[in-house]
Amino acid sequence: MNFAHVIQGSDGDQYGDQVTALYPIGQKMVLPDGRVFRYATVAGAAGVANKLYQSSAAVANWNTQTVAVTACAIGDSTLQMTDGGTAITNADEGSVLFEDVLGLGHIYFVDRQQPTSAAENPLFFKPGVVAQFAAATPVLTFIKNPWQDIIITPGTALTAIPCGVPPSIIAQSDWGWVQTMGVCSCLLEGTPIIGECVRASEGTGGAVTVQDYTEANHADAGTLGRCIEVAPNGDFGLIYLRME
Amino acid sequence: MKYPNRIFGADAAPYTSHNTQQFPLGQVMELPNGKIFRYALMGGTVGVANKLYQAVTGAGAWDSLAVVTCALGASTISLTNGGTAITENNFAEGSVVEETAAGLGHCYPVKSNTAAGAATCVFTLADGVVVQNALTAGVHTMTVEPNPWNGIVITTAAAASQTAMIVGVPLVVIAVAGYGWVQTHGVCSCVVDAAAAATPADKLRPSEDDAGGVALMKCDEAATADAGEIAWNMFTTPDQDFGHVFLMIE
């Protein structure tokens, strides 16, 4: 079944969660006032509303792998890769990339994964997409979709990109919407200045904090919005999310 | 013929390129997973896939051109060109901006232009667009810019600063003077300058060392940080290899 590229949602559609997926992971929804949401599934623990979430950390064993069983030829619509000992799971809507210079950096997005015997991990490309280049000794890296198995930001340095703020609780392993753009409520740490940029907090899980560009290392996490309204430290305030 | 403001394309669409122009330059295409692409004309060097591209460097020759008096509501603007010849329709789908403060800074999209040496060049504005305030010879000057996706080139390894705006990453090779799609938003592959290692969730900027590359954005790093962030880093990639990034050029 094909879904609309962008769901034109109504106010209220962003709330709630589903025990089975209603849309592809990463499906985009726009509300009448321009707020943008993405469809996500929560891992690790029950979701918390109005706190910042990140993607699941990339799996080290899925880095710098190679093809399994058969080579990937020009025109192929599937790819089998080794997994370094950790079976590739939840691969739908993820992406596999030819990492080294000889592979020319080609990236292919996964439509679905075919369960099979261990360490073969056949991945089917999106319909109509075929391999553009046949590397002699491919070096492959796979990562899941950014909205697959999301977790709350840890309150230390992020381990993956921030991916949104859920407006309501999404139960563990359930699906729901996380906001990525527009006026949003989020937990605040510190005292952001109205109109100035905020970034993910390294001190409070799920929070945003002041973006100070002179601050070594932490500032490099990058801005993800601007402060609209300053709440007391540790409370929820209004920000204009600009995560995409 | 009018094109939709935004094409909703299939996943395979950005892997295509064309010898003749199929869409307006800068045409927006969005894929089912939210990735965004722009339609571009490749410049004078054959394209390289999965590397960062920029607009063609502005010549400066078409800055601050003198206007020929032009009435409010006009659909064409005539400017007196300088010493660098303008070819016909070089600025089609580009823009002309009122530079002088008295002109209020209006920016108009260009539909077409005549050829001109050191003489008058006539710019026809996009359909339905008219001059918003009268322009007076001797008072107003205007600057003309081509469309950012017209004649794109790979980013320069410029230690001092970038030379034009970043416009996207092509997924496939686009031939010299060929047309194709460059990605501006979403999960993407790009070559990584990892002289300073970027970890997941770091922001990335154009590399000052590797043409077509992205590098760690150190906000407190003099000069190079001013190029600005263009992506999130998604994985720790070896230096000079290709890595997963989340583009946010737009």
Task: Render pLDDT for A112-128 as a digit per residue (tens, 0 to 9).
Answer: 988 666 567 889 999 99
- Segment A192-232, tens digit of pLDDT: 888 889 999 999 999 999 998 888 777 778 899 999 988 88
More confident site: B195 or A37: A37
Cα of A232 to nearest chain B Cα, Å: 27
Q: Count of CB atoms within 10 A of residue B124's CB?
A: 16
Write the secondary structure of chain A as one string of H (helix), E (strand) and C (coil). Answer: CCCCCEEECCCCCCCCEECCCCCCCCCEEECCCCCEEEEEEECCCCCCCCCCEECCCCCHHHCCECECCCCCCCCCCEEEECCCCCCCCCCCCCEEEECCHHHCCCEEEEEEECCCCCCCCEEEECCCCCCCCCCCCCCEEEECCCCCCEEECCCCCCCCCEEEECCCCCCCCCEEEEEEEEEEEEEECCCCCCCCEEEECCCCCCEEEECCCCCCCHHHHCCCEEEEECCCCCCEEEEEEECC
Question: Could you say which of A6, A107, A219 has the minimum Cβ distance to residue B188?
Answer: A107
Query: Residue A157: pLDDT above 70?
Result: yes
| Chain A residues touching residue B239 (CB < 8 angstroms) | none
**Across the interface, do A54 and B191 touch by the CB < 8 Å criterion?**
no
Nearest CA in chain A to B199: A159
- Segment B74-105, tens digit of pLDDT: 999 999 998 889 999 999 999 999 988 877 88
Query: Residue B3: pLDDT above 80?
Result: no
- Give the integer Cα–Cα distance in Å for A119 and A69: 9
Question: Could you say which of A26, A141, A213 has the minimum Cβ distance to residue B34?
Answer: A26
Residue B59 confidence (pLDDT) = 66
**Is residue A52 within 8 Å of residue A162, measured between CB atoms?**
yes
- CA–chain centroid gap for B90, Å, is 14
> With pLDDT > 90 as the criterion, what percentage of chain A qualifies?
68
Nearest CA in chain A to B185: A244
Residue B218 confidence (pLDDT) = 87
- Segment B116-141, tens digit of pLDDT: 998 999 999 999 999 999 999 999 99
- Give the integer Cα–Cα distance in Å for A197 and A98: 35
**Across the interface, do B241 and A100 touch by the CB < 8 Å criterion?**
yes
| Chain A residues touching residue B32 (CB < 8 angstroms) | 2-3, 5, 24, 27
**Summary mean pLDDT of chain A:** 90
> For chain B, how many residues are written?
250
- Give the integer Cα–Cα distance in Å for A133 and A104: 8
Burial of A53 (0-12, 13-18, 19+ CB in 10 A): buried
**Across the interface, do B200 and A158 touch by the CB < 8 Å criterion?**
yes
- CA–chain centroid gap for B137, Å, is 30
Best of A54, A133, A158, A161 to disrupt the B interface (most B CBs within 10 Å) is A161
Residue B223 confidence (pLDDT) = 74
**Across the interface, do A214 and B219 touch by the CB < 8 Å criterion?**
yes
Cα of B198 to nearest chain A Cα, Å: 10
Q: Count of CB atoms within 10 A of residue A2's CB?
A: 8
Best of B242, B247, B249, B250 to disrupt the A interface (most A CBs within 10 Å) is B242
- Segment A2-60, tens digit of pLDDT: 677 899 999 999 998 999 999 999 999 999 999 999 999 999 788 899 999 999 999 99
ipTM: 0.89
- Give the integer Cα–Cα distance in Å for A178 and B4: 28
Residue B234 confidence (pLDDT) = 95
Cα of B216 to nearest chain A Cα, Å: 8
**Across the interface, do B187 and A244 touch by the CB < 8 Å criterion?**
no
Nearest CA in chain B to A93: B33
* Number of helices followed by number of strands (H, E) in chain A: 0, 17
**Across the interface, do B51 and A221 touch by the CB < 8 Å criterion?**
no
- Give the integer Cα–Cα distance in Å for A132 and B17: 13
**What are B198's two structure tokens?**
């970027």
**Across the interface, do A220 and B240 touch by the CB < 8 Å criterion?**
no
Question: Could you say which of A128, A141, A244 has the minimum Cβ distance to residue B11?
Answer: A128
Average pLDDT over residues A129-141: 88
Best of B51, B192, B224, B234 to disrupt the A interface (most A CBs within 10 Å) is B234
| Chain B residues touching residue A93 (CB < 8 angstroms) | 33
- CA–chain centroid gap for B144, Å, is 14
Best of A144, A202, A220 to disrupt the B interface (most B CBs within 10 Å) is A220
**Across the interface, do B203 and A57 touch by the CB < 8 Å criterion?**
no
- Give the integer Cα–Cα distance in Å for A21 and A27: 11
| Chain B residues touching residue A99 (CB < 8 angstroms) | 237-238, 241-243
Q: How many CB pairs under 8 A join A and B?
A: 148
Q: How confident is the model at residue A149 (pLDDT cuts 50, 70, 90)?
A: very high
SS3 B6: strand
